[in-house]
Chain A
């Protein structure tokens, strides 16, 4: 499959597949519906376990009932970037901390973010990541502890261009 570049965005970005945004390798297999393939996995699995995220997902393992998983495992939020023609969605639960999240966003939207400091926010690149919290307020990404952020973040907006510059100079 060839991918054309449209509006500077590589269509490969929009290819539907599992895996962290920005990772090049395709994930080995989707959740397997037939346990038979688990058997093959088992026989060859005496060596070192493969590193995440290429490990095949096994049906029904770990043995946690689905209603418990539903509550915790997925937390998709919309991500918009000023100037981008369409929004993206990411699962916040796949990230453990801010650096991981920001790196993923950088890869997804092809930008570089500046240095974060508590006092001055993001300096240097004219790109500012913000999020809308449970109360409907727009906040700067990075101010609160990660856990608090990931449970209260409703959507993300990456500001750039003139809005960001205005904020930059205001701060």
Chain B
């Protein structure tokens, strides 16, 4: 349950509070309350402040009005799964002492160019509202939001105690915005830019950190596509005694990493190695990289390798035995290069790689990494008709070797039902199963049958499954399985699958916990959409693009469900009177349709 589960309007008897000091002093009393109320409220505050889980807090707030009010006063960390589910004003009215905000914007399919740019998810209204309401804000964690340099500047100026900025899959800002944050947030502990699109404003942001000793604990800028001032970075690391996590971008060479490790290796727990290739000094003798890695006694998480020179890969061997997380997903590593490395990684729990390691590499993982919890295999060549170096063989090996597997993302060209059935039996702990057979509508390449039985086995036997993404040739039968057995599924991704409306109906009439549904290019139409009307208020969102929906039906749904925002997103040459709906994106909202919708969005 998330923040946007609540559909109570803000209580009108909420008196305006005197501003409280940052430490949770118990002396925030409104003098006009009667004595017993005041005592009860204080007691409740003292108790409720220990509630961390937002599910628990949501439950507590439903007990009675007083509990609702006090819970609102004591919630310091707010999660908003859809920025359009409520307005910033509602947030600040409901929760008075927020220290930490986690906010998500665009739906995931926007990552794959299925949504035009400038759709929305602007951070601006949030930061400007919070600037006035939450002077003690410490942490902002955004995912798929549009953030401008001005927003970052406002953030940096408005929150003197600001400690953590995490931007995941965000865009709209550049190195100049980062520079302002670096310079003005004197208490900054965490600056994590992850998979975000950061424009190169040619600003030396690394030099903008204040000159005294910093509080930095985590600095991640591997996604920043701009050169940095290495001397400044070296100096920064030198005066950041608390630094534990450092993720460099591809403009940092191996020699430079070597120098940084000499400075601060023993404290680092997480290292993003940058390019992992030599800079311009290719003529000189390389320094002893292995020695530098040997001094990384605490490193448990390794990533980077953005422009890997494979001959230097063995330098990481000294840290392999300690690694719990390894990300090779930017490195084109062949099986022969890979096997000697992975052979040492007995403690590995999280492993991301490109399929260049082949089935052979996966077999090596299965043989060594018995503690593996999460595996992600990305395609080196993400096209539909290539040979495909990984297949059901790799998956079978993983299922037999890594019995504790919880989360899988696997891109391949071919798959068999047998491998999925095996995995469903071997890996009962699976909560996330995302298989992408890149060739659309591909059947089991051994039997020629649809992939129904394989995915059916996954939903049936993996009783803890909460997230599922399907692919390959799938008939309505697969969806029947999903609806019947997918008792805990919260997120479902469907592409190029199903035969008829029945498929989607199975899912909407089953899957009791379904929250997020994203479908593309599947033959589901109005009948299917109507069959879910009893549950759209209990879901975070539904996305359907290139399906068979008509405008008429979407209008009916919008009319019948006033708290549902029904967006129809068209392409540029769309005629408003067309009946065919290109993209439907609908979500519940406490505050009605948004005011910032661009021209290509029609809100019904």
Contacts and interface: CB of A to CB of B under 8 A. Distances in A.
Nearest to A42: B521
A111 B381 CA distance: 30
A6 interface: no
A3 interface: no
A38 B384 contact: no
B579 to A, nearest CB: 13
B61 interface: no
Interface string A134-159: 11000000000001000100000000
B585 to A, nearest CB: 14
Given A60-B109, A67-B195, A36 B582 contact: yes
B286 interface: no
Contacts of B583: 35
B385 interface: yes
A101 interface: no
Interface stretch (A20-28, A68-76, A81-89, A115-123): A68-76
Interface string B477-511: 00000000000000000011000000000000000
Interface in A45-64: 45-46, 49, 51-52, 55, 58-64
Contact of A61 (B306, B334, B384): B384
A62 B582 contact: no
Size category of the binding interface on chain A: 20 to 34
Interface residues of B, number: 43
Given A64-B378, A71-B330, A135 B282 contact: yes
Contact of B379 (A39, A62, A135, A147): A62
Nearest to B223: A67
Interface in B543-572: 545-546, 571
Contacts of B197: 67
A36 B383 CA distance: 20
A5 interface: no
A103 interface: no
Contact of B440 (A51, A61, A73, A151): A61
A147 B385 contact: no
Interface stretch (B110-118, B208-216, B589-597): B110-118
Contacts of A96: 387
B546 A72 contact: no
B546 A35 contact: yes
B332 interface: yes
A73 B521 contact: no
B112 A45 contact: no
A151 B411 CA distance: 22
B329 interface: yes
Given A55-B385, A66-B113, A93-B381, 20 more contacts: A35-B521, A36-B571, A36-B582, A42-B521, A42-B546, A45-B440, A45-B441, A51-B385, A55-B384, A59-B113, A60-B109, A61-B112, A62-B382, A62-B436, A63-B111, A64-B378, A64-B382, A65-B169, A67-B223, A71-B330
